């Protein structure tokens, strides 16, 4: 693990917001493609099929050994402004949807700053999601750099204590 853990803030309505900031040496278009192209996304996060336009819905299936094999989830595309902004709401069986957003900005001379945010539903703590998102973003970095995938147990041990219950 080389990146710092995400930050936890509170929205005006009291919900926790996890924010991760990562800098990649790859250009914005390459990072956008790794997030939105189904084949590239499958390498680090999951596969998806469906209508990826704003207002559309895609069916998402996680592909990692730790998360794969579970039931697929429906994700409604809230914002999709290539190659800079993506926001989705992922349906949850037993509660409100997960609100996720990614923004990409150029980091001269050729890199990219990624900001990922997850507004947590009531009753869901940063400790429930923080280590997992940290791990997935490490997996994105490994995909972009064509390096070995991070180990889940090591990521959990290193980042878990950072996130409050």
Query: pLDDT tens digit string along 35-89?
Result: 999 999 999 999 999 999 999 999 999 887 666 667 889 999 999 999 999 999 9
pLDDT band of 144, cuts 50, 70, 90: very high
pTM, entire model: 0.92
d(Cα 114, Cα 20) in Å, to the nearest integer?
A: 8
Whose tokens are 């990922």? That residue is 116
The full length of the chain comes to: 165
Instruction: Calculate the CA 67 to chain-centre distance.
Output: 14
The pLDDT value recorded for residue 34 is 98
Domains and CATH numbers, the chain: 7-160 (3.30.530.20)
């Amino acid at each position: 693990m080389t990146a710092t853990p995400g930050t936890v803030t509170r929205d005006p309505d009291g919900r926790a917001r996890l924010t991760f900031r990562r800098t990649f040496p790859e250009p914005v278009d390459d990072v956008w493609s790794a997030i939105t192209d189904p084949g590239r996304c499958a390498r680090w996060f999951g596969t998806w099929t469906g209508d990826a336009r704003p207002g559309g819905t895609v069916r998402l299936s996680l592909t990692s050994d730790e998360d794969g094999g579970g039931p697929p989830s429906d994700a409604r595309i809230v914002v999709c402004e290539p190659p800079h902004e993506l926001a989705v709401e992922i349906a949850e069986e037993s509660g409100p949807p997960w609100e996720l957003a990614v923004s990409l900005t150029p980091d001269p001379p050729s890199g990219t700053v990624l900001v990922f945010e997850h507004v947590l539903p009531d009753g869901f703590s940063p400790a429930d999601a923080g280590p997992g998102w940290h791990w997935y973003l490490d997996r994105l970095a490994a995909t972009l750099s064509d390096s070995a995938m991070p180990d889940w147990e090591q990521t959990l041990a290193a980042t878990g204590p950072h996130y409050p219950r």
